Amino acid sequence: MTLTSRRAVLSALAAAAVAGPAAAGATATPAHAAGDAYRSNSDLYTRLAGQEGVQFGRRYRRHGYADGSESLGYPYHRTTVMALHGGGVEMGTSELCLAIAGYHPKTLAPLQDGRGAHDYWMFEGLRSSGNSELHVTSTNCDDRVALSMAASSLNVLSLHGCTAAQAGTVPRAVVVGGRSTRFRSLLKAEFDTVGIAWRDGSEVPALAGVDPDNPCNRTMLGKGGQLELTTELRAAMFAVNTRAGRAGSTTDLFDAFVGACRAAIARLEQDPEQAVL
């Protein structure tokens, strides 16, 4: 297969990932998930029109590739890190998203760990209270930027918050899910190295993150990773556990978790599957 035809095939895969179930004749607007006040991100943006930056916010960064040559080829983007329920919705996931992507959560200065930077996207609740109402179930996420970033990446790591009761674990633990069995294995191995308790998503179906409509799986390869962190694990990552205080008060546990995720991503990106053009 030529370079041009390989690009055409993967571009078609990316378009299909963005289109999702609607392309197969499914309902374009998903039904309410249990407890969700908004049917989708678009529903939230419409009903809270003019409130972005007040009640909610979106932050993202895409790294550019300069492909001005007909003779040179550039690889497709490797990894995007996401926090679909950041800010005050699932506390701590915004800060983790930034750090795992390679940026200090307060200053946004690039991390100096030799592992580079990744694209990121996050939705954040900015209310002083009541942010849980802004939760949109992952499979109902239809933010065009989020989906296009997932669809143009070979891999996604999506960060979420849960309770220990939901996870069925000790208080400080993470559920490792997503459709990429290789990524799950790498993440679990790195968590073992730093002493962070984990449970495989296959044992917790509600937190497994294996639905093809989940943005973590709407990648070029149709699979990715999802982490569900318990409330206690996230709280222990910050000395000042408030929206204003978290970014500047991260603890050693935060650094260990971020380091484990970045190491797993680095190892995943070395796999032959991740080197496709």
Per the CB < 8 A criterion, the answer to whether 155 and 183 are in contact is: yes
Res. 45: pLDDT tops 90? yes
Calculate the CA 125 to chain-centre distance: 16
Torsion of CA 199, 205, 210, 216, to 10 degrees: -60
pLDDT for residue 194 is more than 70: yes
d(CA 235, CA 241): 6
What confidence tens digit (pLDDT) does each residue in 196-251 have?
999 999 999 999 999 999 999 999 999 999 999 999 999 999 999 999 999 999 99
CB neighbourhood size of 172 (10 A): 18
Which pLDDT score, from 0 to 100, does residue 34 have?
A: 56
Lowest mean pLDDT among 11-25, 78-92, 121-135: 11-25
Closest CA to 184 of 170, 194, 198: 198
What is the value of pTM for the model shown?
Answer: 0.87
Per-chain mean pLDDT for the chain? 89
Task: Kindly tell me if the per-residue pLDDT of 6 is higher than 50.
Answer: no
> Per-residue confidence at 272, pLDDT binned at 50, 70, 90?
confident
DSSP three-state, residue 230: strand
Q: Which among 128, 129, 142, 151 is positioned nearest to 38, based on CA atoms?
A: 142
Does residue 185 register a pLDDT over 90? yes
Handedness of CA 48, 54, 57, 63 (dihedral sign): positive
Specify which residues 161 forms β-bridges with: 229
- For the cut 80, the answer to whether the pLDDT of residue 172 exceeds it is yes
